[in-house]
Amino acid sequence: MEVGSWTALLEEDALLGKTAIIANEAVIGKDCHLEPGSLISYNVKISNGTNVRAGTRLTRGNRKQEDGTKSDAPSDPSLVGQGGFGHAFEDPDEFSDDESSAFHSNMVYSTAHLNISSESISTVSSEISTSSPTTSRSRLSSFASDDADGGNNENFHHDAVEGLLGTLRENGDFDSAKLEFMGLRLSNNATDQQIRRAIAVAFTKRISQLVENDKLEASKAAAQAFGVSGADRFIKNVAIGDEGLEDDQVDFIYRLQKDLVHRNNGAVILAAISQRLYQMEILEEEAFERWWTECEGLEDEDEGMKKVREKTAVFIEWLRQAESESESGEEDSD
């Protein structure tokens, strides 16, 4: 059964409320009841005869620990039934109470118009697989390929980029756009790397459009794009993460670099973006230094990747000189 861009497999006699969301490859067992406002995320499996209460959000994603790491979360039989897979979605870093409420009210999908009969839905075995959940999100090194963490997830990438581009073109509000973006993330089981890639591409594409079509200087185009309401918080919270880990910052720079290889004026735009994100305190000096050092250390660096970062060399040198002068000043004061 197709629900928008989401596909779900349902057993005969499964009963859906009028406003339930079912994401990719979710399995709903026989005689289940999904109450209004419930959200069943990617690859969740609901056992036969289970009632999913209104407003419940179920996922198979990893759960963040107190030390910031992520680990597999056990399935909760009280929510998915015996033999089912999934647990309650809980991520306090992503939604405030108000945002969580808005997420539910904005993302519910009405199924009242669908003809949900035994002839119109795909029937699956009533035996829910007992295989253990797979890890959905993994951290890669800065220069790992896009395919290494489970594929490019092009459906998510296309929809996410287009949604963010719309916000940038309309000079909208990223606090509102975040709700839609998180919905796409949940429904497509997007990894951290895929999230950063989509955000990087949306901004580089918009800045490139401003440079080519509106004839703006790269620095002014970058200032306009990153100056959209809530853009700084969105990048900090979603692309980089509240912890501001250096690994994630370096990976985001790499995503910007990789996309700009294929765009006109890519080298100038990368230099302008780097300066702007540093000035906005979104990316730190240490992240730029590490990214540059790792690039320089590659014996077989792609020629396009090397060329597109050439004009950023001036910015990197400025950072190094500023650090050297700061250290010299501290020594003199001692």
Mean pLDDT across 210-228: 97
Using the predicted structure, report yes or no on whether residue 16 has a pLDDT greater than 80.
Answer: no
Which pLDDT score is estimated for 71?
A: 72
String of DSSP letters for 24-47: TTEEE-TT-EE-TT-EE-TT-EEP
Mean pLDDT across 161-167: 96
Report d(CA 131, CA 112) in Å as an integer: 33
Which pLDDT score is estimated for 233?
A: 95
Q: Whole-angstrom distance between the N-terminal and C-terminal Cα of the chain?
A: 72
User: Where does residue 308 rank: exposed (0-12), middle (13-18), buried (19+ CB within 10 A)?
Assistant: buried
Pair of tokens at residue 46: 């609901």
* SS3 assignment, position 287: helix
User: Where does residue 125 rank: exposed (0-12), middle (13-18), buried (19+ CB within 10 A)?
Assistant: exposed
Structural domain boundaries of the chain? Answer: 2-107, 146-333
Helix 154-169 vs helix 174-188: crossing angle, to nearest 10 = 170
pLDDT digits (tens, 9 = 90+) for 227-269: 999 999 999 999 999 899 999 999 999 999 999 999 999 999 9
Using the predicted structure, report yes or no on whether residue 126 has a pLDDT greater than 90.
Answer: no
Q: CA–CA distance from 35 to each of 28, 41, 58, 71, 108 (Å)?
A: 13, 15, 13, 29, 11
Considering only CA atoms, which of 275, 247, 256 is closest in space to residue 203? 256
pLDDT digits (tens, 9 = 90+) for 71-110: 778 999 999 999 999 998 875 444 444 444 444 444 433 3
Give me the numbers of helices (H) and strands (E) for the chain, helices first please.
12, 13
Considering only CA atoms, which of 298, 169, 168 is closest in space to residue 234? 168
Fold of 146-333: 1.25.40
Is residue 47 within 8 Å of residue 33, measured between CB atoms? no
Report d(CA 99, CA 11) in Å as an integer: 33
